[in-house]
Amino acid sequence: MSTRYEVLLAGQGGQGLILAGVILAEAAATYDGKNVAQTQSYGPAARGGACKAEVVISDERIDYPKVTEANLLLALSQEACDKYCQDLRQDGVLIVDSILVHQVPTARAYRVPITKIAEEATGRRLMANIVALGLMVGLTGIVSREAIESAVAARAPTGTQELNLKALHAGLQLAENLKVRGH
Amino acid sequence: MSTRYEVLLAGQGGQGLILAGVILAEAAATYDGKNVAQTQSYGPAARGGACKAEVVISDERIDYPKVTEANLLLALSQEACDKYCQDLRQDGVLIVDSILVHQVPTARAYRVPITKIAEEATGRRLMANIVALGLMVGLTGIVSREAIESAVAARAPTGTQELNLKALHAGLQLAENLKVRGH
């Protein structure tokens, strides 16, 4: 059985998805001891505001560093959802921001007002990327809770550690609630 | 003639090389309109502190996102210099921190006390990654001066824009001096 796990984070520039990809990669590699490749590709689309980060996590050596068939897709814009849903495995997990994404091509998606929760928990909409990390880790267990906490704390700009951890815990708690409810 | 340009940034965790890679990628893509792939790979070595970021810049579509033969290598540790010098093209550019790297396998390297210059220009050794960006751009012209300024300003944590731009300009100025002197 392959241990390769592929994550795609997609949305718009300014949503912090690249930082979220870096944090998830560091959690898996530095704190959980996995092999990880983390990529962002920019094309002419970068000027139009689209943004995508990829994280491949494996127990084995990673030969191809990019996502071929995602196990987990986070979509923070309608455009991202439309474009990347086709790259999700049949049994893959889809998480969308329910305020930013209205049309979801599968009933199995987690629709969560991530940006709103970020604002409620921390007063900052820009913390949505960290709330999303908590949600992703809580729902899938791709990295350990300790690993993601350490990675978030290490990458948080000076003076914002507490706020970042608050956002992370809001996401983790939300995942627990969704699992209990069976969304 | 291929327009593919490959950059390897290598050193230790905590030196800000991943952020430097992200900033360089954003400068090339968002502000200069190039296609860019930016990758960091983490293995068990991540726990030991080694860190590497790769940036591939091209006018054309990028099929393989990783460095195969680097046009430019920045080495901020002896271990990184030892390990990645073999990945540098014959006509590639090597930049090392002369305080952190003592043995350089080629006479053609730029040996610059990057960390010391960061401390002198900004009071913070941690700005060495931004000084290095200025140095790299000034010496090679891989991205435009306007692009790297915009990207650094956009990625700087709140309240540190001025300090980051000061570090960048110290690196750019240093490159001018080196070019005049023919190092």
Of B13, B30, B158, the CB nearest to A46: B30
**Per-residue pLDDT averaged across B37-61, rounded?**
82
pLDDT tens track for B114-153: 999 999 999 999 999 999 999 999 999 999 999 999 999 9
What is the distance, to the nearest Å, from the Cα of residue A59 to the centroid of all Cα atoms in its chain?
Answer: 20
Per-residue model confidence as pLDDT tens digits over A135-166: 999 999 999 999 999 999 988 887 899 999 99
**Least confident piece of the model among A78-82, A150-154, B62-66, B119-123:** B62-66
b (16+ CB within 10 A) / e for A11-31: bebebbbbbbbbbbbbbbbbb
Rg (CA), chain A: 15
Determine the Cα–Cα distance for residues A30 and B50; give it in Å rounded to an integer: 10
Residue of A nearest to B40 (CA): A38
| pLDDT score of B145 | 97
Phi, psi of A180 (to 5 degrees): -65, -45
If you average pLDDT over residues B25-49, what whole number do you get? 81
Prediction pTM value: 0.85
Are residues A30 and B37, on separate chains, in Cβ contact within 8 Å? no
Average pLDDT of span B49-55? 89
Contact B110, B139 (CB under 8 A): yes
Task: Choose the closest CB to A39 out of B29, B37, B157.
Answer: B37
Superfamily classification of domain A5-181: Pyruvate-ferredoxin oxidoreductase, PFOR, domain III (3.40.920.10)
Residue A77 above 90 pLDDT? yes
User: Would you state the pLDDT for residue A33?
Assistant: 87
Q: How far is CA B126 from CA A28, A63, B133, in A?
A: 24, 32, 13
CA distance B163 to B146: 17
CA-to-CA distance for A168 and A165, rounded, in angstroms? 5
Q: Pick from A22, A29, A158: which is nearest to B46 by CB? A: A29
Q: Are A147 and A107 in contact (CB under 8 A)?
A: no
Query: Does B35 contact chain A (CB < 8 Å)?
Result: yes
* Nearest-neighbour CA in chain B from A181: distance (Å): 36
- Closest CA in chain A for residue B42: A36
Could you tell me which residues are beta bridge partners of residue B93? B72
Q: How far apart are CA B16 and CA B118, in angstroms?
A: 13
**CA distance to partner chain A, nearest, from residue B17 (Å):** 12
B42 contacts in A (CB within 8 Å)?
Answer: 25-26, 28-30, 35-38
CA dihedral over B147, B153, B156, B161, signed as positive or negative:
positive
Q: Across the interface, do B40 and A37 touch by the CB < 8 Å criterion?
A: yes
Nearest CA in chain A to B44: A33
Return the biggest CA–CA distance within chain B.
43
Check residue A42 and give its pLDDT.
78
> Could you read off the pLDDT of A117-128 as tens digits, one per residue?
999 999 999 999
Distances (CA, A) of A172 to A134, A140, A169, B59: 4, 11, 5, 41
Average per-residue pLDDT for chain B: 91
- Of B72 and B33, the structure prediction assigns the larger pLDDT to B72
User: In this complex, do A40 and B38 lie within 8 Å of one another by their Cβ atoms?
Assistant: yes
Give me the pLDDT at residue A44, please: 61
Average pLDDT over residues B150-175: 94
% of chain A residues with pLDDT over 90: 73
Predicted confidence at residue A46, as pLDDT, reads: 54
**Mean pLDDT, rounded, for B75-101:** 95
Range from A93-97, B10-14, B61-65 that averages highest in pLDDT: A93-97
Reported ipTM: the value is: 0.75
Instruction: Name residue A35's beta-bridge partners.
Output: A58
Say if A39 is an interface residue toward chain B (CB within 8 Å).
yes
Q: Each residue of A30-63: pLDDT tens digit?
A: 888 899 999 988 766 555 578 899 999 999 888 8
Strands (E), B13-159: 35-42, 50-58, 70-75, 88-97, 110-112
pLDDT at A51: 87
Query: Cα separation of A117 and B2, whole Å?
Result: 47
Does the beta carbon of A54 lie under 8 angstroms from any beta carbon of chain B?
Answer: no
Residue A43 contacts B, CB cutoff 8 Å: yes
Contact residues on chain A for B48, CB-CB shorter than 8 A: none
What's at B160, amino acid-wise? T
Count the helices and strands in chain B (H runs, E runs).
Answer: 7, 6
Selecting from B18, B26, B39 the residue whose C-beta is nearest the C-beta of A65 gives B39
Asked whether the predicted pLDDT for residue B183 surpasses 80, the reply is no
Q: Quick check: A103 contacting B, CB < 8 Å?
A: no
Burial A77-110 (b: 16+ CB within 10 A, else e): bbbbbeebbebbeeebbbbbbbebbeebeeeebb
What integer is the mean pLDDT of B170-180?
93
Best of A23, A40, A59 to disrupt the B interface by mutation (most B CBs within 10 Å)?
A40
Asked whether residue A27 carries a pLDDT value surpassing 60, the answer given is: yes
Instruction: Say yes or no: B40 contacts chain A, CB-CB below 8 A.
Output: yes
- B40 and A46 within 8 Å at the Cβ level: the answer is no
**Closest CA of chain B from A126, distance in Å:** 13
Above 80 in pLDDT, residue B180? Answer: no
Quick one: what percent of chain B has pLDDT higher than 90? 74
Helix B145-155 / helix B161-181 crossing angle, nearest 10 deg: 150
CB-nearest partner of A39 from B39, B43, B46: B39
